[in-house]
Amino acid sequence: MRRTSLLWVFFARALGVVCLIGLVVTPNALAGPNDDTDAVLARLAAQAQKVQTIQSPFVQRKRLAAFNAVLVTKGRFAFRRPGDLLWEYLEPSRSGFVLRGEQGWQWDASTGQHKSFTVASSPEMEAVAGQIVAWATFDLKWLRSRYQITLVSSVPLVLKLVPTGQGIRKFLDYLLVQFQPSGDAVRTIELREIDGDWTRISFTAPRLNDPLDESIFVAPK
């Protein structure tokens, strides 16, 4: 699988769904001064069970070390249990994908590409569908089989995830998840790559457990 494809799969199953785990907590409820990583992860796992839907705008900043440039894009994200997922870039151009169970759609306005797929016919989306439940339910056994997780800071709450798989370790160094100072929402998710590139996604105005309109999970024409 190409490097960009691996990153796309990682975004789909990590960026959006990891943010589920911290968006329904009470202020300062996740970490105390004497907590260790295990205690914090246990609380996150318990909180994840309360989330049924989530939607949020986001701003993504991507630094390309080779060009000393930062690219800024804006988009939206939505998730509904058990497996409806939207990840869409809106500015500067529109692209993204929708996944509803076994059926999905991808689009890219800049190229005119618009295609449907099934999980069985798309290895990348099959990976997303196969692992999204583990992320949404914050399955600690599954997470720890793939990442080394440490508590970087309690205030603000910051977790560091280092992938252990050899394939993704060739280009992805680590992932940082930082929560708002109040502790009630994820503030940023940052991917640090081996070559010096990084991607930082900031979630703004997240909404939890609101009914989601069916139109959210329909691909644009």
Q: State the helix-helix crossing angle for 123-136 and 3-10, rounded to 10 degrees.
A: 30
What is the average per-residue pLDDT within 199-215?
A: 88
Give strand pairing partners of 82.
none
Using DSSP's 3-state secondary structure scheme, residue 23 falls into: coil
Model confidence at 173: pLDDT above 90: yes
In this prediction, residue 137 carries a pLDDT of 60
Residue-averaged pLDDT of the chain: 78
> Is residue 186 assigned to a domain?
yes
DSSP letter string over 156-198? TTEEEEEE--HHHHTTEEEEEEEE-TTSSSEEEEEEEETTS-E
pTM given for the model: 0.79
Q: Are 86 and 15 in contact (CB under 8 A)?
A: no
- In a domain, residue 211? The reply is yes
- pLDDT of res. 220: 84
Confidence at residue 136, expressed as pLDDT on a 0 to 100 scale: 55
Q: What percent of the chain has pLDDT over 70?
A: 76
Query: Is residue 118 domain-resident?
Result: no
Mean pLDDT of 17-39: 54
Q: What is the mean pLDDT of residues 180-195?
A: 75
For the cut 70, the answer to whether the pLDDT of residue 133 exceeds it is no
Distance separating alpha carbons of residues 66 and 68, to the nearest angstrom: 6
Instruction: Retrieve residue 24's tokens.
Output: 């329904």
Q: Which amino acid is at 127?
A: A
Residue 128 main-chain phi, psi, to 5 deg: -65, -50
With respect to residue 151, please indicate whether it lies within any of the assigned structural domains.
yes
160 has a pLDDT exceeding 80: yes
pLDDT above 50 (res 190):
yes
* Residue 101 is assigned to a structural domain of this protein: no
Task: Look at residue 62 and tell me whether its pLDDT is greater than 80.
Answer: yes
The residue with greater pLDDT, 205 or 151, is: 151
Concatenating the DSSP letter of every residue in 26-52 gives: PTT-S--TT--HHHHHHHHHHHHTT-S
- pLDDT of 48 higher than 80: no
Which position has the higher pLDDT, 125 or 104?
104
Virtual torsion, Cα 136, 191, 172, 149, nearest 10 deg: -50
Give yes or no for a contact between 69 and 199, defined as CB atoms under 8 angstroms apart: no
Tell me the CATH number at 67: 2.50.20.10
Whether the per-residue pLDDT at 18 is higher than 60: the answer is no
In a domain, 100, yes or no: no
SS3 143: helix
Q: Which two tokens stand for residue 127?
A: 């990976």
Range of the domain at 158: 3-81+88-94+127-217
217's tokens: 């999970």
Residue in the structure block whose two tokens are 């644009």: 220
111 in helix, strand or coil?
coil
| Token pair 């959210």 in the structure block, residue | 216
Query: Quick one: pLDDT at residue 38?
Result: 85
How distant, in Å, are the alpha carbons of 27, 88, 98, 113 from that of 109? 40, 11, 15, 7
**Structural domains in the chain (count):** 1
Q: How far apart are CA 216 and CA 61, in angstroms?
A: 24
In a domain, 109, yes or no: no
Residue 117 lies in a domain: no
